[in-house]
Structure 1
Amino acid sequence: MGARITLVRGDITTQEVDAIVNAANSGLLGGGGVDGAIHRAGGPAILEECRQLRATTLRDGLPTGQAVATTAGNLPARHLIHTVGPVYATSTDRTELLVSAYRESLRVADELGARTVAFPAISAGVYGWPMDDAARIAVETTGSTPTAVEEVRFVLFGDEAYTAFTRAAEHAG
């Protein structure tokens, strides 16, 4: 049984949850969009732990569709889960990599004992995934993935994302 899905319009860096999911790039060293906002709000402890991962177990970076946890630094969460979503391409179906990013994030959340997890719309920003399809995949995947997580909270920045996720959640029942 999947987790209960809730939708919030707002800033993921302010969510008081057990774990926040970061839509990271494979380098794990910060970037734009959600990734940059999380690194800025969370402070230097996150970047330091990411640098340690890059120097040891993730020398080549975090592969697309995978997830890893670090400290949440100054964020109001106990843990930060970094996942790398795929860049959208019309020539190649990368849906399974996007599904994997959500599943792997939930798997890591389970390992951490997290019961509430805040997700952004993975791959729907600068990675170009069409918002309606990104929302459908996110809602279907988190709703059908076996997990001990009790609440998956999609924290959506902007009306387009909130509307798309609302439609996807209504369609999923």
Structure 2
Amino acid sequence: MKEKIVILQNDIWNMEVDAIICHANTELEMCEAISSQLLEYGGDEIQNECNSFDQLFKGQAVITTAGQLPAQNLIHAIVHNLGEDFNDGEEEFLMKAIRESFIIIREKKLKTIALPLIGSSSLNIPVKRAAELIMAEIKKHLDGETCVENVYFVAQNYIVYDAIDEAHRQL
């Protein structure tokens, strides 16, 4: 299982994978830094498809096209309401959204997945804790029945890389 998880420091929008899991809010407005980069490189087709969804809730995940990105799909892990102040219990929504993302991955039979560290900047969860939470959900999925061959956990800097690497070593 551990060998299926690859930690990289890379630009996630350049990854050729079946799906990228990205941060989302309940309005699917891609305003977080990495999500907005995905939208910029992927084009309006992504936001147009996002606009077609109604009534989304924290802890859900939905799949859309990846537009002009090399990835095939984007899975939007919905971790907060637009304009919301962060409260206790945000970790639960992060874990649920990641879990829901992997349910979509299983249903769609996706094999290669990339994701950045979600939750540290958007939910104010400490970097190390966000890495541990996400890694635990990845492990749960990979320990079950799956067709996933690789999960690329993509770090945007050395601090995030070290946190992800430590969480990976603790599996």
TM over 0.5: yes
Aligned to 2:25: 25
2:51 partner SS: helix
For residues 130 and 117 of structure 1, what CA distance do their matches in structure 2 show?
Answer: 23
Note the C-alpha offset of 1:3: 8.2
Note the C-alpha offset of 1:15: 0.8
- Structure 1 residues 143, 3: closer, same or farther in 2, change over 3 A? farther
Q: Answer whether contact 1:6 1:151 (CA < 8 A) is retained.
A: yes
Note the C-alpha offset of 1:52: 1.5
**Residue deviations 1:9-32, cap 9 Å, x none?**
121111110101111121112213
Q: Answer whether contact 1:13 1:38 (CA < 8 A) is retained.
A: yes
1:17 partner SS: coil
- Structure 1 residues 153, 88: closer, same or farther in 2, change over 3 A? farther
- Structure 1 residues 88, 115: closer, same or farther in 2, change over 3 A? farther
Note the C-alpha offset of 1:88: 9.0
Q: Structure 2: any 5+ residue segments left out of the alignment?
A: none
Give TM-score scaled by structure 2 length.
0.88
Note the C-alpha offset of 1:105: 0.7
RMSD of equivalent CA atoms: 2.0
For residues 150 and 104 of structure 1, what CA distance do their matches in structure 2 show?
Answer: 18
Q: Structure 1: any 5+ residue segments left out of the alignment?
A: none
Q: Answer whether contact 2:2 2:168 (CA < 8 A) is retained.
A: no
Q: Answer whether contact 1:19 1:79 (CA < 8 A) is retained.
A: yes
Aligned to 1:144: 140
For residues 119 and 85 of structure 2, what CA distance do their matches in structure 1 show?
Answer: 7
Aligned to 1:154: 153
Q: Answer whether contact 2:116 2:154 (CA < 8 A) is retained.
A: yes
Aligned to 2:131: 135
**Residue deviations 1:118-172, cap 9 Å, x none?**
0111111232110010011111110122333221111110111101000110111
Correspondences of 1:1-173 after superposition (within 5 Å): 4-53=4-53, 58=54, 60=55, 62-86=56-80, 92-145=88-141, 146=144, 147-172=146-171
For residues 62 and 3 of structure 2, what CA distance do their matches in structure 1 show?
Answer: 20
For residues 123 and 81 of structure 1, what CA distance do their matches in structure 2 show?
Answer: 15
